[in-house]
Chains A and B, each alone.
Chain A
């Protein structure tokens, strides 16, 4: 496999390190470049110097501006030589130097001469160089020659012009677009590559004209005998046309499918593969359409060429995600790939098999994988572990062998990421498959006996503390946990102490033994460990008496912190030491939605042990501070939620106003953020007159005008309403901005004494039920759902009517409810016919609400939805249904 290492060592002394560029040095080569200026040019020597210069550039050396300019000017002298070889090197050198605009002028005439030369090689290369370094103005001068070159009978010249056209289209589209007649002619060329380049350019010229692309594709798909590369292009253009005309595919055959299928019988492998891949990627592909593509890919699987095997197995792997049954025919070929020399191919084969395998084949598959795992890299192993986890969730009955497999590989060598992936998988299996719990926990216990990663040890200890006491025999875990107190670093010891305390709190029978162990921890060398032991001994009543653990103690030990850590951190930072103790209840609970880009980050795995990702700092604190500083609103209590700003004016109007709705238990405050965009005006005494006639339950109680609003410095005015306590009152408000306007002298900036009262109509504002729901996530929806119980469950079905897509319907409902999507369920996989979305939130009055939405496509476009709500209050469950019914 690897080349003989011994031989290399032998050679080393004599010649292995010999290189014509040995000891090369930039300064010396730049000196050498002076030969370019010799009146009697020596082409051979000049070529060598250029090669050396190019070698330096290629090795990552860079020339200063001055050096580059000098070399460039010297090189331009070489156009005097008639030597063809030297001229080629000059072309390459000029491209590498990428001269500036004023330098380009020096070579333009030489290159233009070459462009009209009789020598094909000169023409082709001069075109490529000139187009690379030129700018728009020069381009118009040479346009005529370029158009000629496109239809030149020499294919190299034509290709050079066409490829240059492809590059120039990015910078000078209006010029290149004028060449379409010539390009069109070149598409008919007999030369394979010319055809390819012409097709690529023609499509790029027309890409924004859907009709023209359609015409291009339909005329070309009828022809034949094209170069393989051009044929690949055509396949790509065809699938694009198919995608864009996706609206009318419900009836019968897909347009152009026959063309794609025909390409599967092409003689070039790259075309066959391109067509097969295009078919598998068709939107809503049927199994009848898939079959011929799968068949050719299956043939590739047993090819002698690794590239073909890789391409086929990678495509089949993707197909297996959406159409596992279509791929099962390839399973036998796939299994033989597990032993493929190329580990990328082997890994792809394994993960495909894990996706397509049925329950009966699991055991055999696991045996094969075990042999395979030892000789692949960690990154591949992680892929396999993840595939096994999803397989186990699919076939819970097989948990025994799959769990065994995971625990075996957990014991083997591996890096942190790999170990974490395994532990995460085991944790998820324990959570979701009750029968797997006890064995899984024991595997984890054995793992922490010899675990080098503090993070994993503490995470597992925490998990043990929650799950361990609920098992049939909690006592058997104590030994593993207490061993940690002896053998580990302080962080793990502290974690072990907390876990012991949890066992003590939950299992009365174990209490005396736990107390003994905790008391021993009082002599630990680490402060934190001692503090924790002392704290737990006191809370659990460690004076020896075995008493029932109180509910608040349990809450203290097990209750989850239902506050985002970022918010807590911010509040603690803002807290100023005073008589008033810090109150955790005043920490905002709202989770700020993260930007979409972040959510789409590659690691979109179900959350295992890891903590939820930290959100960006919230603006809730800022609002809360602002509002509590206004005496009129100080007695409204705790701020429940602040909405995102809603614009009340069009963009670019005289006055820009948006509003933020602040919801309190018995009040609503509208914060109008106003900006004056007229430099010649100063606004004073700015208020918003709110007409609440369409919001019956609201009564205005206070308003705070804005004293002065100068040009371009935003200010706020507030209006407060009273509403029935704890009731999600809704209504519509019309707004009028009222102010005194004073003229400002733009030269001095002084405002006139007298002002005129004026009004400005704003758009209406609505308070909706979603304003009363906080986006609060839960870490494990399934657990939360079950522990909430079905007491106040309300289920109903709704028809959402025709929608553009399932994803659009899902997003609409999420927006309507204003709740937090859990476990990444807001993302709808393409082509799916149904989808389940999980939401969580807190309703006003601090009532937790969980929602399970099941969407299905009913007919071609109609979306039907089943809505199940669980909450701590039946009125709230009903209210959620009401939102959906009226939305």
Chain B
């Protein structure tokens, strides 16, 4: 019997159910199509609910899913049917708030994709192989951002090559559009 609380997956989807970032910790969904099917099911089941002030919860296919939305971002945490619902929601809240801190309050899909590295590191700090690593949003965000101060530094402090690289990138991006 599994006694240690375990997380099956953490999903961050957009307002159309597409992946922003997801992380699976269990073998319940062996293939990418199984994962996508699960995400679709979760998304359609929850999209009409209001999970903006308090985290909401649902149960299906013997999984418990807690979720919370902000702007066009949908956060989900899944656990087994015997899992303590409140533990799952604590994990969700920790992840949700940490992302909010890392995106400095601009929680929307664009901002999340722009800072996908932070989101991925954040996922990495919340759960390790299904075991809960940390649930305190400040600690999580702190761990992710501790080294990242220079990234947000003003342009003047960047080296010439870095500035050039940034400029080139912006140019290619605008050309691609």
Contacts and interface: CB of A to CB of B under 8 A. Distances in A.
B165 A193 contact: no
A305 B113 contact: no
Interface in A51-65: 51, 54-55, 58-60, 62
A274 interface: yes
Interface string B135-164: 100000001001110110000000001100
B162 A44 contact: yes
Nearest to A277: B84
A311 interface: yes
A15 B110 contact: yes
A54 B122 CA distance: 14
A237 interface: yes
Nearest to B125: A156
Contacts of B57: 306-307, 310-311, 342, 344
A631 interface: no
Interface stretch (A81-89, A452-460, A481-489): A81-89
**Taking each of B35, B57, B147, which has the highest tally of chain A beta carbons within 10 Å of its own beta carbon?**
B57
Contact of B84 (A51, A88, A197, A270): A270
Interface string A556-577: 0000000000000000000000
Contact of A22 (B84, B128, B150, B177): B177
B106 interface: no
A703 interface: no
Nearest to B166: A44
A84 B86 CA distance: 35
B49 A273 contact: no
Interface in B85-129: 85-90, 109-110, 113-114, 116-117, 120-121, 124, 128-129
A308 B55 contact: no
Nearest to A51: B117
A89 B117 contact: yes
Given A44-B162, A60-B32, A121-B147, A18 B110 contact: yes
Contact of B129 (A84, A167, A229, A306): A167
A80 to B, nearest CB: 17
Contacts of B50: 1-2, 341
Contacts of B47: 2
Report the interface size class on chain B: 35 or more
Contacts of B4: 166, 200, 204, 233
A404 to B, nearest CB: 30
B86 A58 contact: no
B120 A51 contact: yes
A45 interface: yes
A8 B110 CA distance: 14
A443 interface: no
B173 A166 contact: no
A85 B110 contact: no
A149 to B, nearest CB: 14
A519 interface: no
B66 A307 contact: yes
Interface in B1-42: 1, 3-5, 15, 19, 21-22, 32, 35-36
A132 B57 CA distance: 32
A544 B138 CA distance: 91
Contacts of A109: none
Contact of B116 (A51, A60, A163, A304): A51
B142 to A, nearest CB: 10
A54 B121 contact: no
A1 B86 contact: no
Contact of B86 (A91, A159, A269, A344): A269
A11 to B, nearest CB: 9
A456 to B, nearest CB: 26
A434 interface: no
Contacts of B134: 159, 193
A84 B146 CA distance: 9
A92 B89 CA distance: 25
A20 interface: yes
Nearest to B60: A379
A3 B15 contact: yes
Contacts of A314: 59, 85
A307 B85 contact: yes
Interface in A8-54: 8, 15, 18-23, 42, 44-45, 47-48, 50-51, 54
Nearest to B117: A51
B177 A128 contact: no
A29 to B, nearest CB: 13
A112 to B, nearest CB: 20
B58 A305 contact: no
A58 B113 contact: no
A85 B148 CA distance: 6
Given A18-B110, A193-B133, A84 B147 contact: yes
Contacts of B169: 48
A741 B135 CA distance: 74
A273 B3 contact: no
Contacts of B36: 60
A236 B3 contact: yes
A462 interface: no
Nearest to A204: B4
Contacts of A19: 109-110, 113
B35 A60 contact: yes
A240 interface: yes
Contacts of B86: 269-270, 273-274, 307-308, 311
B129 A23 contact: no
Closest 4 CB pairs of A and B: A84-B147, A60-B32, A270-B86, A311-B85
27 contacts: A2-B50, A3-B69, A18-B177, A20-B113, A44-B162, A44-B166, A50-B117, A54-B120, A58-B19, A60-B19, A60-B35, A88-B121, A92-B121, A203-B3, A229-B135, A233-B4, A236-B3, A270-B84, A307-B55, A307-B66, A307-B88, A310-B57, A310-B59, A311-B84, A314-B85, A341-B49, A342-B58
Given A20-B113, A160-B128, 19 more contacts: A2-B47, A8-B15, A8-B72, A44-B162, A48-B117, A51-B120, A58-B120, A92-B121, A92-B124, A164-B128, A193-B133, A196-B132, A270-B90, A306-B54, A307-B54, A341-B49, A342-B56, A344-B58, A379-B60
Interface of B: 1, 3-5, 15, 19, 21-22, 32, 35-36, 47-50, 54-60, 66, 69, 72, 84-90, 109-110, 113-114, 116-117, 120-121, 124, 128-129, 131-135, 143, 146-148, 150-151, 161-162, 165-166, 169, 173, 176-177
